[in-house]
A and B are shown apart, each in its own frame.
Chain A
Amino acid sequence: MLLLIPLFPLVGFVINASVGRRLTKSISGGLACAAMIASFAVSALLVSQILGHEAAPLEFTLFEWMASGTLRVPFTLRLDHLSAVMILVITGIGSLIHIYSTGYMHEESDSEYARYFSYLNLFASFMLVLVLGGNFPVMFVGWEGVGLCSYLLIGFWFRKQSAADAGKKAFVVNRIGDFGFVLGMLLIFATFGTLDFQLVAAAADSRAIEHGAIGVITAATLLLFLGATGKSAQIPLYVWLPDAMEGPTPVSALIHAATMVTAGVYMIGRNAVLFSHAPITLSIVAAIGAATALMAGTIGLVQNDIKRVLAYSTVSQLGYMFLAMGVGAYAAGIFHLYTHAFFKALLFLGSGAVIHALAGEQDLRNMGGLKKYLPVTYWTFLIGALAIAGVPLLSGFFSKDEILFKTFTSTNPYRLLLWGIGMVTSLLTATYMFRLVFLAFHGERRSAAHHDSHGHGHGHAPHEAPPSMAIPLIVLAIGSVLAGYVGVPHALGGSNRIEQFLEPSFAVTEARGRLEAGGGVQSTDAAGVVRPVAVQDSHSADAGESTHDNTSTELMLMALSSGVAIAGIGIAAFFWLRNRAAVNAMTARFRGPYTVLLHKYYVDELYDAAVVQPIKLLSTGGLWKGADAGLIDGAVNGVGQTVRSTSNVLRRVQTGSIRTYAASLFLGVVLILGWYLLKFR
Chain B
Amino acid sequence: MVPLNYYLALSGVLFAIGTAGVFLRRNLITVLLSIEIMLNAVNLTFVAVGRYRGSVDGQIITFFVMTVAAAEAAVGLALIIALFRHRETLSPDAFTALKW
Contacts and interface: CB of A to CB of B under 8 A. Distances in A.
A659 B93 contact: yes
* A-side interface mostly: helix
Given A662-B22, A663-B23, A666-B19, A656 B92 contact: no
B93 A654 contact: no
A250 to B, nearest CB: 75
Contacts, number: 26
B6 interface: no
A234 B11 CA distance: 99
A652 B19 CA distance: 26
A656 B96 contact: yes
- Chain A interface size, as a band, is 10 to 19
Interface in A650-681: 651-652, 654-659, 662-663, 666
B98 A659 contact: no
Contact of B99 (A654, A662, A666): A654
B2 interface: no
Given A662-B22, A666-B19, A657 B93 contact: yes
Given A663-B23, A666-B19, A658 B99 contact: no
Contacts of A666: 19, 23
Interface in B21-67: 22-23
B72 to A, nearest CB: 15
Nearest to A650: B100
B23 A662 contact: yes
A100 to B, nearest CB: 80
Contacts of A652: 100
B96 A657 contact: yes
Contacts of A655: 96, 99
Contacts of A663: 23
A360 to B, nearest CB: 73
Contacts of B95: 656, 658
Contacts of B22: 662
A663 B93 CA distance: 13
A659 B97 contact: no
Contacts of B99: 654-656
A516 B23 CA distance: 93
Nearest to B97: A656
A659 B100 contact: no
Nearest to B24: A659
A658 B92 contact: yes
Interface string A231-251: 000000000000000000000
A20 B100 CA distance: 67
B93 A656 contact: no
Nearest to B100: A651
Interface string B84-100: 00000000110111111
A654 B96 CA distance: 10
A466 B23 CA distance: 105
A638 B54 CA distance: 63
Nearest to A661: B98
Contacts of A658: 92, 95, 98
A669 to B, nearest CB: 10
A654 B23 contact: no
Nearest to B28: A658
Contacts of A662: 22-23
Q: Which of A659, A662, A663, A666 has the most CB of B within 10 A?
A: A659
A647 to B, nearest CB: 9
A551 to B, nearest CB: 104
Interface string A68-98: 0000000000000000000000000000000
Contacts of B19: 666
A657 B94 CA distance: 8
Nearest to A647: B100
Contacts of B98: 654, 656, 658
Given A662-B22, A662-B23, A654 B100 contact: yes
Interface of B: 19, 22-23, 92-93, 95-100
Shortest 3 CB-CB contacts between residues of A and residues of B: A656-B99, A656-B96, A651-B100
Given A657-B93, A666-B19, 9 more contacts: A652-B100, A654-B99, A656-B98, A656-B99, A657-B96, A658-B98, A659-B92, A662-B22, A662-B23
16 contacts: A652-B100, A654-B98, A654-B100, A655-B99, A656-B95, A656-B98, A657-B92, A657-B93, A657-B96, A658-B95, A658-B98, A659-B23, A659-B92, A659-B93, A662-B23, A666-B23
